[in-house]
Amino acid sequence: MSEGTRKDGIVSGRLGPDQYVSNFGDAYPPLNPHEALVAADRCYFCHDAPCITACPTEIDIPLFIRQIQADNPKGAAKTILAQNIFGGMCARVCPTETLCEQACVREAAEGQPVKIGHLQRFATDTLMETGTHPFTRAAPTGKIVAVIGAGPAGLSCAHRLAMHGHNVVVVDGREKAGGLNEYGIASYKTVDNFAQAEVDWLLKIGGIRIETGSVMGRDYTLEEIRTDYDAVFLGFGLSGVNSLTLEGGDGDEVGDAVDFIATLRQTTDLAALPIGRRVVVIGGGMTAVDAAVQSKLLGAEEVTIAYRRDKSGMSASEVEQEHATSAGVRIVYNAQPVAKTPDGITFEYTETGPDGLRGTGETFTLAADQIFRAIGQSLTMPDGAALDIERGKIRTDTEGRTSLPGVWAGGDCALGGEDLTVTAVAEGRDAAESIHKALSA
């Protein structure tokens, strides 16, 4: 086994070819038809269905499970997709353990919920494998809407607008559409290029044109877009990365976890991707977990997640935390970074008191030749985009309308709920309905 060497112990080719294939296979294999029927049989089909309330897109979960039970997975898929056009991706990445499955009556009674996420994937995969699209466009309205950002919020909005007969131009700064689904999710959750396959399938509705490689503030302004289109939806996510100030500076070995994941997702040769022998990831969210686990899968010998609060404070779910530890990742809680040393990074232990989080004064050092920041992202707005900003995000009303007439926003860039794919999909869909109502007035 050869190692393509880079400075400071960050090298490529730590594993053999077969190990990369095995490590980056589907972490959560799909159900087969028999398994799906068995899982569906466990549903009580509750009349008040707390799982529906817990789903940000309000999918009729008992109905689609009953359709699977009746051997109609394609019908089940249409039930799902009518509410969540990204039902396939959400089935793979949604924290169902803290949403619909946590609300499941089986979870409350037995500690083992119905496998809602797995059943959703079974249904949507069954339909998508046929290559057909279950929805058709309404008669053309003659209206054209600009959607800025080709992520879950933007494409969800675009699809719903296209269904209503509007033409949509989706503009994105990256080379590919998909946003977070394409660039920000661990590859073992979305194998076989599923993110792009889902985008291609979504576009079969017609009436949507995607323009990539075009950035607001560099290639066009928001005012120009407002002038040229009948309505605008902003769904460009969060592009800035929160800074981490350390004594001793960052050094070349400190990088952003989001960039690491994006690079990994786009590489065609995992063996060529350099990784450190001892990796430390700073943060407590899904990005931190995804970066840490994939570091381990690439061959890092020691991988540690350091988080400044306790276990319950991590935004990554307990299931994801357990997935990380089962992959060999160590998680250190109540540890905030204070200094970069020549051989690693020094942390101070923390505790929560009446005045909030504070350092205890006790420190320790973790050896590391590669460090990733996963401490959140921030909104980057181009100059001249006169939008009301609140708590670092675009302020919107309940329908997604911004302070500028004719401009809506949703997803991570907008002030609202949790920064989840499923929430972004819901906000994009609901904004589309508001836009359609405004254009039809």
Percent of the chain exceeding pLDDT 90 equals 88
Q: Residues 127, 201: contact at Cβ < 8 Å?
A: no
The amino acid present at 33, given as its one-letter code, is: P
pLDDT digits (tens, 9 = 90+) for 68-121: 999 999 999 999 999 999 999 999 999 999 999 999 999 999 999 999 999 999
- φ, ψ of residue 298 to 5 degrees: the values are -80, -10
Residues sharing a CB contact under 8 Å with residue 91, sequence separation 6 or more, in sequence order: 117, 118, 120, 121, 124
Integer Cα distance of 426 and 432 in angstroms:
10
Angle between helices 33-40 and 61-69 (to 10 degrees): 130
Please determine, for residue 8, whether its predicted confidence score (pLDDT) is greater than 50: yes
Give mean pLDDT, residues 372-384: 83
Question: Residue 384: what pLDDT?
Answer: 60
Please determine, for residue 417, whether its predicted confidence score (pLDDT) is greater than 80: no
Question: Residue 383: what pLDDT?
Answer: 64
What CATH code would you report for 33-128? 1.10.1060.10
Question: How much is the CA Rg of the chain, to the nearest whole Å?
Answer: 23
pLDDT digits (tens, 9 = 90+) for 360-371: 999 999 999 999
Tokens of 430: 């609901």
- Return the closest-CA partner of residue 172 out of 210, 141, 204: 210
- HSE-CB of 139 using CA atoms within 13 angstroms: 1
Question: Residue 252: what pLDDT?
Answer: 66
Give mean pLDDT, residues 223-250: 87
How do beta strands 356-367 and 344-353 pair? antiparallel
Q: Residues 365, 344: contact at Cβ < 8 Å?
A: yes
Question: Residue 253: what pLDDT?
Answer: 76
pLDDT digits (tens, 9 = 90+) for 36-80: 999 999 999 998 999 999 999 999 999 999 999 999 999 999 999
Residues sharing a CB contact under 8 Å with residue 65, sequence separation 6 or more, in sequence order: 40, 43, 45, 76, 114, 116, 119
Question: Residue 249: what pLDDT?
Answer: 64
Residue with tokens 């898929």: 77
Sheet of strand 335-341, all strands in order from the earlier edge strand to the far edge: 335-341, 344-353, 356-367
Please determine, for residue 250, whether its predicted confidence score (pLDDT) is greater than 70: no
Residue with tokens 């794919």: 421
- Return the closest-CA partner of residue 233 out of 136, 176, 159: 159
Q: Which residues pair with 352 in a beta bridge?
A: 357
Question: Residue 379: what pLDDT?
Answer: 87
The CATH number of 144-239+379-440, from 3.50.50.60, 3.90.380.10, 1.10.540.10, 3.30.2320.50, is 3.50.50.60
Please determine, for residue 4, whether its predicted confidence score (pLDDT) is greater than 60: no
- Look at the pTM and tell me if it is higher than 0.85: yes
Categorize the per-residue pLDDT at 126 as very low, low, confident or very high, splitting at 50, 70 and 90.
very high
Integer Cα distance of 341 and 245 in angstroms:
13
Q: Residues 372, 257: contact at Cβ < 8 Å?
A: yes
Categorize the per-residue pLDDT at 409 as very low, low, confident or very high, splitting at 50, 70 and 90.
very high
Q: Is the dihedral of CA 168, 173, 176, 181 positive or negative?
A: negative
Give mean pLDDT, residues 5-25: 85
Integer Cα distance of 74 and 80 in angstroms:
10
Please determine, for residue 3, whether its predicted confidence score (pLDDT) is greater than 50: no
Question: Residue 419: what pLDDT?
Answer: 82
Q: Residues 58, 52: contact at Cβ < 8 Å?
A: yes
Q: What region, left, alpha or beta, does residue 355 occupy, with left being phi > 0 and alpha being psi -120 to 50 degrees?
A: alpha
Give mean pLDDT, residues 304-312: 96
Label residue 187 exposed, middle or buried (CB < 10 Å: 0-12, 13-18, 19+): buried
Question: Residue 6: what pLDDT?
Answer: 41
pLDDT digits (tens, 9 = 90+) for 137-161: 999 999 999 999 999 999 999 999 9
Residue with tokens 């053309």: 140
Categorize the per-residue pLDDT at 374 as very low, low, confident or very high, splitting at 50, 70 and 90.
very high
Question: Residue 242: what pLDDT?
Answer: 81
Tell me where in the chain the CATH 1.10.1060.10 domain(s) lie: 33-128
Sheet of strand 144-148, all strands in order from the earlier edge strand to the far edge: 208-212, 167-172, 144-148, 231-234, 407-409
Tell me where in the chain the CATH 3.50.50.60 domain(s) lie: 144-239+379-440, 241-376
Please, what is the average pLDDT of the chain? 94
Please determine, for residue 438, whether its predicted confidence score (pLDDT) is greater than 80: yes
Question: Residue 251: what pLDDT?
Answer: 63
Class at the top of the CATH hierarchy for domain 241-376: alpha beta
* Distance (Å) of CA 158 to CA 147, 275, 347, 394: 7, 38, 45, 19
The amino acid present at 270, given as its one-letter code, is: L
